[in-house]
Structure formats: structure tokens, C-alpha cells
Amino acid sequence: MADENKLQLSDVDEKGGAGSPATSAFEPAVATGHVSGLKRRFPGFNLEVRQEESSFAATKSASNADFDPIPPSRRTWNMGAYVAYWMADAWAVSNWEVASSMIDVGLSWKMAIGACVLGNTIMGLVITINGRVGATLHTPFPVLARMPFGYYFSYFVVVSRCVLAIVWLGVQTTTGGQCMTVLLTAIWPSFANIPNHIPASEGISTAGMVGFLLYFLLQLPFLCIPYTKVQHFFAFKSVIAPIIFLAIFGDTLRRAGGTISNSTVITQGTTVHGSALAWAFFGNLNGVLGNYATLGLNIADFSRYANKPSAQNVQAIVIPVIFTIVGLLGIFTAAAAQTAYGQIIWNPIVIINLWMETGTHGGRAAAAFGAIGLIIVTLGINISANSISAANDLMSFCPKYINIRRGQLLAAVIGSWGFVPWKILESASRFLAFLGGYTIFLGPMTSILMTDYYIVRKGNVSVPDMYNFHGMYRYSPRYASNWRAVVAFFIGCIPPLPGFVNNIVVAGNPKSVTGVSLGGQHLFAIGYIYSFIAAGLFYWAFNRFFPHTESIMDHPETGEDVIAANDAKNVEARRASRAERRPSLAVQIFEV
């Protein structure tokens, strides 16, 4: 069988197709094409994106400069950058409110924080361990997915992640639009009285749509900040966001007389007991894990920018610490709000809105600054957790025409207007339940990727083959998929599926009955943990007893020497170009 595969690859080479890893790594770059009509009207624009000389792909249709392994000169993220990244990501409205649903189902606030600490600690370890793959190989998640899944099935994995990222990008844009509406109302109070011409069934008013549109336009330039420099924006947000959320907490606590002990959020203990309490805890633990299961899968999209593999190890500490602090402040602010405003308020945007009700200039100014801060918060979330991930995924389908910047802009348009996110937030409880329960699909994918790299291959992988469609990770000449990964994936996600369906139905109507057994519901309550462990174990077993010997190596092949040599030439060329044209400040900010 191995001889047949070698023969097949030789035939491809002779016909001028994709070469073997050794030859494709050293092939000269393919000249970038152009569209004559566009070039005449826009001399600086090219429909086809730039392809680095060090690309491992045999044709320009298979990769581009952003999709290739990150060269040494662009590995700009150090340990501080990853601290800033997670500081920017953690200070978000969704993380502030994370304990609200836990307390609603009967957990005490202490148990809710316990679930947050445990869940974020587990996810911090998953993200750090999986992130080391990207920090070592410097390739994006869609390329790494080809290693265990094969070419064709990896596209299913990438689509599964891409859709989720785009939807959440739209949802966060809606949240940013709400903050923009608060800002406009604080500056011009008459803005709140704009006549509404949009039906109530749409879930948004005319004023809300204006805020949404303005926020959408505002975020576009931020999405164009290149990945080599975006960590500076994360650092800026990591300073602004804590100030805003601490101000919201401090003012609410002041209005409550400096105490939170009178709130039922604090005084109320657990309202469920026995096995019901245990399963409520595990169900909410699963929710915490699911909150960042997406980044647990595709963290390589960010860890590949690390200046050294150990730079991203700090995530294992930062994630549980900062997310726990944000969750605690959310609980304490909601408790103080009960005394200050007469009701438990979890959403900080609502609290900022209440500052304007005094009618004073000071209240409006505070609301305006608070809204500006939350706008910065949502901008950071959309860049860090959604747009870059979606861009890498979209780029894998059409690297000839889509790079990270174009992918981010395309994802923003689709997520903000194609998925109608304001309606999702207003009425689609079942759709939100679907997004929350999607972890039963993400868990197996993450586990298989980690098991393949660390246990099955022990880090001995070939990066050039990941870019070679006829390389060793094709697995099957006909199906270009690894049956071991496919079967392990379905073993991981199918058993919790009935509980997943039940969760969606009940979310739409709590009185609905699906006939799913209590055991099926309980299995879904630990869906991420089960699917992660089951898929990983079965994938290891399949490779133990039915190994794919053609892809087993005794040493890693990263092509680092080729990448470094070409990077040195590219750096020198860029320096010469800048010396001649003296780029403007805008070019320096947005140039990769």
C-alpha cells in the first residue's frame, strides 16, 4: 500500500501537480496574478492576495502570506501580549453575567463561583496545551486540522467553527450597538425620542438600528489592524475595561450604602438539594467550559504569533484568575443593585442607562464615558474571540482571494447583517440554546487534535505536508479523510445528542416534553467533558490498533530554515521600500 501511494505521488509530480513535501517546500513562488480592469481603476488593489516566497503550497490557490506559517519577523506576541489578550477578552458583559443563570437554577453564589473557577481552570489548561501546537508550528487552526482529520473532513471541522465565530461576531456587534445607543442618548437626550418605524417583531427600534449601524461602521477600521500590531489594542483595552467595570461596581455599591449583605443574591443559599444540586452544578460547569470551547479548539490562530513556544504558557494562570475576578464583580454588582435600584441587575448596560435618569449633566457624562468604555470592550471581544478566528476559517476555503483582513471584513458583514443578530438576542432562545450546546461537537474536535499531536505522533509532524493536498495527511486517495478521526468524532458527539435536542426544545418552551430520558439529559449536562474524553480515547485506540504508518515520522519537519531564509529577504525588501517612500502614520498602523 505504501508503494502504491509513493507511485501515485510520483505520477502527480511528473504531471506538474502538487509536489512531495521536500520539493514543494523549495519551489519558487508563483507570480501573483491581477485583474486588468481593477488594476486600471485602482492601481494599488489586487484581487488576488499576496503569497510569500516561502509558501509550502504548490499553487497560489492553496495558500497566501497570512495562511502560511508565521515567519520569525512577525512572531511578535510575548508573554505580556497573551496577558493583555485575555484581559481584553475576559472583561466582557457575557462574563460579567455568567453567574446569573447559575443562581437562577438553584446554586448559591459561592457554588457558582466554584463552577467558574473549576471550569476556567480546565479550559485554561486545554487552551494552553493546544496552544503550544500553534506556538511551535506557527500554522493556523484550519491547516492543523488537516493533520488528524485529513483534507476533506477538516473542512467540516473548519465550517463548524467558522459559523459559530461569525454568529457571535454579529451578537457582539448588537451588544456594541446597544452601547452606542446609550452613548448617543447621553450626548443628545432627544435621540431617545426618535420615532420608531421598525415593527416590534424585529427586535430592534429605529434608534437601536442607528446605534447598530454606527457601531458596525466604527469597528471596521479596528478589524483592519494587522495581527502583528493588534496586541497593542488589546493592551489598551486591558487598561480601559477594568476601569469601566470597577466604576460600575463602585457606583452601584455606593448607592447601596456600601454593603451587599442585604441582597438575596448573597443571603440565599442553594434552593435544590441532593442529586438535583449535583447535576445543576455539572450542567453549569459544562456551560462555563462551553463559554470558551471555541477558542480551546482554534487557539492556534493566536498562539502561532508567539515569539517562543513558552510565551503562551501564561494562559494557564491568567484565564482562571481573571475570569473568576470578573464573575465575582458581576455577582457583587448585581447584589448591590438590588439595594440601590430595587431590583437585581446583571447587565451593566442597564445600570449605565439608569445613570441618565437623574437628568443631571453629571449623570449623562458618566453614562457617556461608561458607554465609550463598553464600546471599546466589545470591539476587543470581536477582534480577539470572533473576527480573526472567522477570518482564518474563511481564508482556508479561498486563500487565493481571502487573507485575514478581507476575511475579518467579510465575517463582519455576514455576521452583522446576514444572521440578523438583533433578532437572535431578542427572541431566538432556541437558537441561543443551540449555540450554547454546540460544545458537544467542539469537544471531540479539540481532543482529537491534541491526542493526534501529543500522543499519536509525539510532535513528529510535517508542516509542508499540511499544505500539500497529495501529501501524507490525505489518508485516502479517494476520500482525503482519516476514518479514525471521523469515527472517534461521532462516538464523542452522538451519545449527548438527544440531551442537546431536549435542551433546545425546552429553551423554546419550558413546558415541552421530548421523551429524552433523565440519563440522556444528564449526559448532555457533562457533554463537553464526556465528548472530549471519549473521542480522545477512541482516536488513540484506533491509531494504536489500526495505525496509518505512511504518516508516522521519527522527527518533525517544520521547514523553519526555508521560512527563516525567505523572511530575512522579505524584511530587507520591506526596509528598502519604506526608506524610499516614507510611509504615513496610517500606513504604519495598518500595514502588516
Contacts with 464 (C-beta within 8 Å, 6 or more apart), sequence order: 21, 22, 24, 25, 56, 471, 557, 559
Per-residue pLDDT of the chain (592 residues; tens, 9 = 90+): 444 444 343 343 433 343 433 333 333 444 444 445 656 666 667 888 877 665 788 777 888 889 999 999 999 999 999 999 998 889 988 899 988 889 988 999 999 999 999 999 999 999 999 999 999 999 999 999 999 999 999 999 999 999 999 999 999 999 999 999 999 999 999 998 999 999 988 889 999 999 999 999 999 999 999 888 888 899 999 999 999 999 999 999 999 999 999 899 999 989 999 999 999 999 999 989 988 999 999 999 999 999 999 999 999 999 999 999 999 999 999 999 999 999 999 999 999 999 988 778 899 999 999 999 999 999 999 998 899 999 999 999 999 999 999 999 999 999 999 999 998 877 667 777 887 788 999 999 999 999 999 999 999 999 999 999 999 999 999 999 999 999 999 999 999 999 999 988 888 777 777 889 999 999 999 999 999 999 999 999 999 999 999 999 999 999 999 899 888 888 888 788 777 777 666 556 666 5
Query: Looking at domain 77-559, which CATH architecture does it have?
Result: Orthogonal Bundle (1.10)
Which pLDDT value is given to residue 22? 37
Considering only CA atoms, which of 1, 63, 70 is closest in space to residue 29?
A: 63
Q: Which cell is 296 given?
A: 480551546
Which pLDDT value is given to residue 297? 96
Q: What is the CA radius of gyration of the chain?
A: 25
Interior CA angle at 335 toward 436 and 504, to 5°?
Answer: 20
Residue bearing cell 493588534: 230
Contacts with 258 (C-beta within 8 Å, 6 or more apart), sequence order: none
Which pLDDT value is given to residue 512? 78
Residue 289 φ/ψ, nearest 5 degrees? -60, -40
pTM, 2 dp: 0.88
Considering only CA atoms, which of 132, 165, 168, 152 is closest in space to residue 449?
A: 132
Q: Where are the domains of the chain?
A: 77-559
Q: How far apart are CA 32 and CA 52, in angstroms?
A: 10
Specify the length of the chain in residues. 592
Which pLDDT value is given to residue 585? 62
CB burial of residue 160 (10 Å; 0-12, 13-18, 19+): middle
Q: Is 274 left (phi over 0), alpha (psi -120 to 50) or beta?
A: left
